[in-house]
Amino acid sequence: MGILEKIQEIEKEMSRTQKNKATESHLGTLKCKLAKYRTQLLEGDKTEGGKGEGFEVVKSGDARVAMIGFPSVGKSSMLNVLTNTKSETANYEFTTLTCVPGVIQYKGANIQLLDLPGIIEGAHQGKGRGRQVIGVARSADVVLMMLDASKGDVHRAILEKELFNCGIRLNCRKPNIYLKVKSSGGRKYNSMGAVDILDEKTCFAIFQEYRIHNFELLIKDGKCTTDDLIDVIEGNRVYMPCVYCYNKVDCLDMEELEKFATQPHSVVTSISLGLNMDYLLATIWRYLKICRVFTKPRGGKPSFENPLIMRSGATVEDVCHGVHRSMADKFKYALVWGTSAKHYPQRVGLKHLVEDEDVVQIMVK
């Protein structure tokens, strides 16, 4: 029996099994087997010749956004509108057969936008080169899921399932679980407060399936599920933000349009009418969490033309590295103007967190 057949058998058994307290350990074991087979499926795909022609795209710019969607939902048209790149568009499916990159120039940053071929249901099993497409998406900072608004949420549910099966978690935080696998010492289970699903019996059943016999486990959040624990054990999951772009809303009435527009993480657009493109760019920018820092020379004026592009959580030390790799070694203190400063200017050290549009003057020894 091949891997795909084993996966289908496990999925059938899970669908037949009633979900209750008595079956939690059994379902957890089945999910473990399912996760291991899916990992084998993905690893086997890597040894079959890599990503293929057109999928090896060098990461460039300050951030990367990958467009994922079914065929003929407007991905190539969106690339043409947002960048200077020309990707072929037509009224038939699978117009784009390779990965076409473009660059969005926005607020002083260069954002790489990837137009990926359309994927179909069963992509995680390799249908339509789906695993290669999703493999490229794993390297992105944000996923832009292009959806045809006339199809409702049917395509969205399918795409979310395909990405989930390939280890991509959309708009999710990493599970608040501490795990340390050891060579000896036995099993140690602890939880901070009551747990809803991951009780000691269920956790031990999952570790038994993975043949892990010595570990320290701390469940910090009582809402964690068996899927969360399996993700922590597998260790190859990618957690990334996703913007759901409902395109072709010009064919909807106001009630349907409002339904999509008010959903979390969603933007409605019409490429043919140029509707809501500015808001889409602003949303992508917000999800990328880019931080622009302007430097100021001693006795001079700040340079507002070429900001340093940082990510959220950057420190003054990161700014030093952005200016010159040796500056942090000679660092004395820094003066900061902006929203991160309590007063203007504020004298800070290397660990000070900078925020968007801060002005930083670095003083060296």
The domain that contains 251 carries what CATH number? 3.40.50.300
Contact call for residues 166 and 134 (beta carbons, < 8 A): yes
Residue 291 has pLDDT above 80, yes or no: yes
Give yes or no for residue 50 having a pLDDT over 90.
Answer: no
Measured from the Cβ of residue 33, the count of other Cβ atoms closer than 10 Å reads 17
On the question of pLDDT at 205 being above 50, the answer is yes
| pLDDT beyond 70 at 124 | no
5 secondary structure, DSSP code:
H
pLDDT in tens, 294-332: 999 998 999 888 899 999 999 999 999 999 989 999 999
What is the chain's alpha carbon radius of gyration, rounded to the nearest angstrom? 24
pLDDT tens for 248-289 read 999 899 999 999 999 999 999 999 999 999 999 999 999 999
Residue 57 counted as domain residue: no
In a domain, 54, yes or no: no
Among 78-87, 105-114, 200-209, 248-257, the range scoring the smallest mean pLDDT is: 78-87
Does residue 53 belong to any structural domain of this protein?
Answer: no
Same domain? For 158 and 183 the reply is: no
Alpha-carbon distances, residue 259 vs 152, 154, 171, 280, 362 (angstroms): 10, 14, 20, 17, 49
* pLDDT at residue number 119: 76
- Asked if residue 138 and residue 271 are part of one domain, the reply reads yes
Other CB atoms within 10 Å distance of the CB of residue 79: 23
User: Residue 325: which domain range?
Assistant: 290-364
Q: Which two tokens stand for residue 230?
A: 């399996």
pLDDT of amino acid 79: 93
Q: Are residues 68 and 143 in the same domain?
A: yes
Q: What is the pLDDT of residue 100?
A: 86
**Are 327 and 334 spatial neighbours (Cβ–Cβ below 8 Å)?**
no
- Considering the domain architecture, whether residues 76 and 160 belong to the same structural domain is answered as yes
Mean pLDDT of the chain, nearest integer? 87
Check if the beta carbon of residue 262 is closer than 8 Å to that of residue 254: no
**pLDDT more than 70, % of the chain:** 90
pLDDT at 44: 60
Establish if 302 belongs to a structural domain: yes
Residue 58 counted as domain residue: no
Say what the pLDDT of residue 363 is. 95
H helix and E strand count, the chain: 10, 16
Same-domain status, 245 and 297: no
- pLDDT of res. 51: 43
Quote the pLDDT of residue 117: 81
337: pLDDT strictly greater than 80: yes
User: Same structural domain for residues 183 and 296?
Assistant: no
198 and 245 inside one domain = no
257 and 155 share one domain: yes
User: What local confidence, expressed as pLDDT, does residue 126 receive?
Assistant: 60
Q: Which of 218, 234, 250 is the last residue of a domain?
A: 234
Domain boundary among 225, 255, 288: 288
Residues 220 and 349 in one domain: no
**What is the model's pLDDT at position 71?**
86
With respect to residue 96, please indicate whether it lies within any of the assigned structural domains. Answer: yes
Pair (71, 138) in one structural domain: yes
Residue 350 CB: number of other CB atoms within 10 A?
15
Report residue 49's pLDDT band, with 50, 70 and 90 as the boundaries: very low
Q: Is residue 187 part of a domain?
A: yes
The distance from CA 243 to its chain's CA centroid, rounded to whole angstroms, is: 10
Domain count, the chain: 3
One domain for residues 42 and 181: yes
Mark whether 277 and 323 lie in a shared domain.
no
Within a domain: residue 201?
Answer: yes
Residue 105 Rama label (left phi>0; alpha psi -120 to 50; beta): beta
Angle between helices 24-46 and 130-137 (to 10 degrees): 100
